[in-house]
Chains A and B, each alone.
Chain A
Amino acid sequence: MSRTPWLLARRHVVTHWIRTGLTLGSMAVSLFVDLPRDCQAKVAGVDEVAQVCKFQWFGGYYQDRSNFFGQFGVDPELFFEMYAKDLKIVEGPADRAPDETVHQASVRAMLADRRSTVVGSRLAKDFGWKVGDTVQIIPTIFQKVDGSAWDFLVVGIYEPLRSNVDDRTMWLRYDYLQEGLDAGTVTGPRGVGTFSVNLKPGADAAAAIDAIFENGPQRPRTTTEAAFQAAFVSMMGNVPLFVATIGGAVVFAVFFSVINTMLMAGRQRVHEVGILKALGFANSVIGRLMLGEAVVLGLVGGGLGILLAIGTESGMRAMLGTFLPNYAVQPFTLVWAAGLALLVGLVSGIAPALTLVRLRPTEAMRAEA
């Protein structure tokens, strides 16, 4: 007959609550960009600047969160003029004037209706969208007060003219968003995430533009489009890897933190283990106790993390919406997290358990209590 005094493990976890609390800690990171709309006029006032166009990340999804693609609110006339060498609208409205190109007809149609959108060819193909269709995009950032989705009217389908232009982007009218924000029917950031600037030939306006904001609350960074795009694509393209890397590093750090905690706990238990052994508790019981304590720590920590993940899911989605509109805590992730917590607990308990099991009772009791 050899029962395990689990009360001891429970009492240790509770008694050493500071240690337990610190072991269970975690952290979070967030990023925001929101420039005032009037920046556009200020930037346009810089001598070297030819054109300035708004670029506002919309961050919605089509039907399902997994249908993730870029949507930007822009000043359509400026945008299609500035990017005439980058993309070309190849399908447009049927009511085209005899002297109009498809591209021109689409831009005209876009200017005529605030709900208009021009979409990339692969996006249209993926979702079966055609010119004239009304598509519903579910917002993650620009929520409508009545909870409804946004309707967009497809007036054109573009093809990239350069290899670095994405064919899965949806271009919207920024003033469509602005109208809702100003009327109070839409909530979301009232500023603009990015301004695209077209410079006069040979000009380098980065320093001049940054100087405008030098003493303001916002400190935007002016960079070339290539650098911006590289950073953006790199960020978006590597999000899973990025998250996995951070997650892996955190798990690694937590793992060693728990191991360290358990080794420390093991050292603190030496005298107590000597007493238990003297009383007649077998080594298997001592091992179970130590492993049990480590597993309890791991599972409680993992459980708190899981509750935190569930509890903050919607908040995190709103916060990360600009970058990760499809952020969701999947059941599989929770199961995986629980399994990992169990594993971390088990593995971290092995070393101290083995150390304690190997101790002779008299040797252990000589250790300081």
Chain B
Amino acid sequence: MYEDGRVRKVAAAGLVGGEQVVLDPPADLSIGDGEFVAMMGPSGSGKTTILNIAGGLDEPDSGRVEVAGTELTRLHGPALSAWRARHVGFVFQAFNLVPVLTAFENVMLPLLLTPLGKAERRKQAEFALDIVGLTDRMKHRPSQLSGGQEQRVAIARAIASDPDLILADEPTGDLDRSSADSVLELLGRLNKELGKTIMMVTHDAVAAERAGRVLHLDKGLLVEDARVAS
């Protein structure tokens, strides 16, 4: 946190798993296990930065970040990568599927980082694709899928290795309303039925309504922390 209050490489952001979160004074942020949290705010407000730090993609310049009992700021290099592989599933606005791989192969990717055998990995990938309703598209490449289908494959990839935390950065930003609703419904199911903790960055108020809690950020400051009535 800089003197002007911008969240940029935040000084501290405690997050998931009931741990204490400090977004530098005055905001303390704590996200409980199994919560579905939406983060809103104008561009540059620090939403994605918080998300990236929570997922171990970026490291804060200073401060302490703790996720599910692990202090991320103490992890670096391969240890941080291994932690990410074990605990976090990412869903991005631009889907970020590997174009030369099929849907099934994309979902298989994170499973290569697990101790599972080949048969188990296949089974797990098929299960994940079944959850998102795309078992009939598993041999298609991303270019052969619609935007909504691509995002569902990305969600299948995010949940394939059964992580605790799903971080979604504007997952419906590139989708039409119908596809966006389908993706949001899926995220809601993952939260309710599988108990996944979800942090979602969005500009879409309709999307934010799916979450149980909405954080509003502005210029790096947490300006509102609202519970959404279910």
Q: Do A and B come from one complex?
A: yes
Number of A positions contacting B (CB below 8 A) = 28
Please, how many angstroms separate the alpha-carbon atoms of A6 and B82 in the complex? 19
Most buried by B among A8, A279, A281: A279
Q: How far is the CB of B114 from chain A (nearest CB, A)?
A: 6
Q: For B26, what are the chain A residues with a Cβ–Cβ distance below 8 Å?
A: none
Q: For B42, what are the chain A residues with a Cβ–Cβ distance below 8 Å?
A: none
Contacting pair B100 A11 (CB below 8 A): yes
Contacting pair A275 B84 (CB below 8 A): no
Q: For B157, what are the chain A residues with a Cβ–Cβ distance below 8 Å?
A: 279
Contacting pair B78 A283 (CB below 8 A): yes
Which residue in B58, B85, B92, B98 is a CB contact (below 8 Å) of A280? B85
Residue of A nearest to B79 (CB): A282
Please, how many angstroms separate the alpha-carbon atoms of A15 and B157 in the complex? 23
Residue B105 at the chain A interface, CB threshold 8 Å: yes
Contacting pair B100 A1 (CB below 8 A): no
Contacting pair A275 B96 (CB below 8 A): yes
Residue B57 at the chain A interface, CB threshold 8 Å: yes
Contacting pair A365 B92 (CB below 8 A): yes
Contacting pair B96 A1 (CB below 8 A): no
Contacting pair B100 A362 (CB below 8 A): no
Q: How far is the CB of A314 from chain B (nearest CB, A)?
A: 41
Please, how many angstroms separate the alpha-carbon atoms of A56 and B54 in the complex? 83
Residue of B nearest to A366 (CB): B94
Contacting pair B57 A3 (CB below 8 A): no
Q: A11-B101, A369-B94 are in contact. Are A1 and B114 (CB under 8 A)?
A: yes
Contacting pair A283 B77 (CB below 8 A): yes
Residue A272 at the chain B interface, CB threshold 8 Å: yes
Q: Mark out the residues of chain A between 7 and 26 whose CB falls within 8 Å of any chain B CB in the assembled complex.
A: 7-8, 11-12, 15
Q: For A274, what are the chain B residues with a Cβ–Cβ distance below 8 Å?
A: 96
Residue B99 at the chain A interface, CB threshold 8 Å: yes
Q: How far is the CB of B60 from chain A (nearest CB, A)?
A: 13
- Size bin of chain B's contact surface: 20 to 34
Most buried by B among A272, A284, A361: A361
Q: Mark out the residues of chain B between 118 and 135 whose CB falls within 8 Å of any chain A CB in the assembled complex.
A: none
Residue of A nearest to B84 (CB): A280
Q: Mark out the residues of chain B between 35 and 85 whose CB falls within 8 Å of any chain A CB in the assembled complex.
A: 52, 55, 57-58, 77-78, 81-85
Q: For B83, what are the chain A residues with a Cβ–Cβ distance below 8 Å?
A: 280
Q: How far is the CB of A11 from chain B (nearest CB, A)?
A: 4
Q: A279-B85, A280-B85 are in contact. Are A365 and B96 (CB under 8 A)?
A: yes
Contacting pair A1 B115 (CB below 8 A): yes
Q: How far is the CB of B212 from chain A (nearest CB, A)?
A: 25
Please, how many angstroms separate the alpha-carbon atoms of A360 and B81 in the complex? 11
Contacting pair A280 B81 (CB below 8 A): yes
Residue B112 at the chain A interface, CB threshold 8 Å: yes
Contacting pair B100 A12 (CB below 8 A): yes
Q: List 26 A-B contacts (CB under 8 A).
A: A1-B115, A2-B112, A5-B112, A7-B105, A8-B101, A12-B100, A272-B99, A274-B96, A275-B97, A276-B109, A277-B81, A278-B57, A279-B85, A279-B90, A279-B109, A279-B113, A280-B83, A280-B84, A280-B85, A280-B110, A281-B113, A282-B78, A282-B81, A365-B92, A365-B96, A369-B99
A residues at B contact (CB < 8 Å): 1-5, 7-8, 11-12, 15, 271-272, 274-284, 360-362, 365, 369
What are the 7 closest A-B residue pairs judged by CB atoms, nearest first? A280-B85, A3-B112, A280-B84, A11-B100, A282-B78, A282-B81, A1-B115
Given contacts A5-B109, A11-B100, A277-B57, 20 further A-B contacts (CB under 8 A): A1-B115, A8-B98, A8-B100, A274-B96, A276-B98, A278-B55, A278-B57, A280-B81, A280-B86, A280-B110, A280-B113, A281-B113, A282-B78, A283-B81, A361-B57, A362-B52, A362-B57, A365-B92, A365-B96, A369-B99
